Amino acid sequence: MSRIATVICAAVAVAAGGYWLSLSNSNSSNLLVSTAEAQEAEIDTSTVIEMVQGAEDAPVEIIEYASFTCPHCASFHQGAYKQLKKDFIDTGKVKFTYREVYFDRYGLWASMVARCAGPEKFFGLTDVIYEKQSEWTRAGGPAEIVDELRKIGRLAGIDGDQLEACLQDGTKARTLAAWYQENAERDGIQATPSFIVNGKKVDNQSYTDFKKLIEAELGS
């Protein structure tokens, strides 16, 4: 999935109406944030929590940039990531940081659900969101898609009111979008999944090649 990260409105714009976030359903009011407002607002991205696994002092640091709507990201998380976690993250050799990329509004909504219960449940929710990606991304229109994401959140034990509050948090949505933009511009992210391994940008590759790269870093 290769798309150029430009400005916030291009990353998460809704084509109709010039809005980049619109949650519409019978149980909650609409949240409409204009792209102009998103660009002009002063946004403090330092409030965004980094989602991290592994030892803080691990000799290798891997940052993954991924979109919840990216099929290649889903493949990575259902395959290579599980092996990476077993071999290197759980053994204290790799500190793994997951950073979301928002190429579309659906990826942003999925991120807001994944983050709703805090860091403790984030990676578990991420696993389920990727596992069910082909279901929720093809559920229909925006209302149907967000309903499927709500189901995932509820299955993870998130209270209905809490989940709705997360999905309707316009400040959080703007902050996440600005945070994504800062990250993408700084690290030159144009495709997902992309990785930063000890400060060096790495493209998606087989786990065999990824393992060799990590082992080289461990031996250096």
Range of the domain at 212: 8-219
Specify whether the CB–CB gap between 43 and 178 falls below 8 A: yes
- Burial grade of 120 (CB within 10 A; 0-12, 13-18, 19 or more): exposed
**Confidence class for position 220, pLDDT limits 50, 70, 90:** low
* pLDDT, tens digit (0-9, with 9 covering 90-100), for 138-174: 999 999 999 999 999 999 999 999 999 999 998 999 9
Q: Give domain status of residue 132, yes or no.
A: yes
| Whether residue 40 has pLDDT greater than 80 | no
What's the average model confidence in pLDDT over 97-110?
Answer: 94
Q: Give domain status of residue 1, yes or no.
A: no
Q: Give domain status of residue 215, yes or no.
A: yes
The pLDDT assigned to 42 comes to: 75
Question: What string of DSSP letters covers 150-219?
Answer: HHHHHHTT--HHHHHHHHT-HHHHHHHHHHHHHHHHHHT--BSSEEEETTEEEE---HHHHHHHHHHHHH
| Whether residue 52 has pLDDT greater than 70 | yes
* pLDDT, tens digit (0-9, with 9 covering 90-100), for 208-217: 999 999 999 9
At 145, the amino acid letter reads I
Q: Give domain status of residue 96, yes or no.
A: yes
Q: For the chain, give the percent of residues with pLDDT over 90.
A: 73
Q: Give domain status of residue 16, yes or no.
A: yes
Distance (Å, rounded) from C-alpha 201 to C-alpha 18? 33
Count, residues in the chain: 220
| Whether residue 196 has pLDDT greater than 90 | yes
Best CA proximity match to 116, nearest among 132, 133, 129, 101? 129
Q: What is the CATH number of the domain that holds 107?
A: 3.40.30.10
Q: Give domain status of residue 110, yes or no.
A: yes
Q: SS3 of 116, please?
A: coil
| Helical axes 105-114 vs 160-167, angle rounded to 10° | 140
The number of domains in the chain is 1
| Whether residue 1 has pLDDT greater than 90 | no
Task: Give the chain's radius of gyration (CA, Å).
Answer: 17
Q: Give domain status of residue 115, yes or no.
A: yes
Q: SS3 of 92, please?
A: coil
**Confidence class for position 130, pLDDT limits 50, 70, 90:** very high
* pLDDT, tens digit (0-9, with 9 covering 90-100), for 69-96: 999 999 999 999 999 999 999 999 999 9
- Burial grade of 112 (CB within 10 A; 0-12, 13-18, 19 or more): buried
The pLDDT assigned to 36 comes to: 40
Q: Give domain status of residue 193, yes or no.
A: yes
What's the average model confidence in pLDDT over 99-107?
Answer: 93
How many C-beta atoms surround the C-beta of residue 54 within 10 A? 21
pTM of the model: 0.83
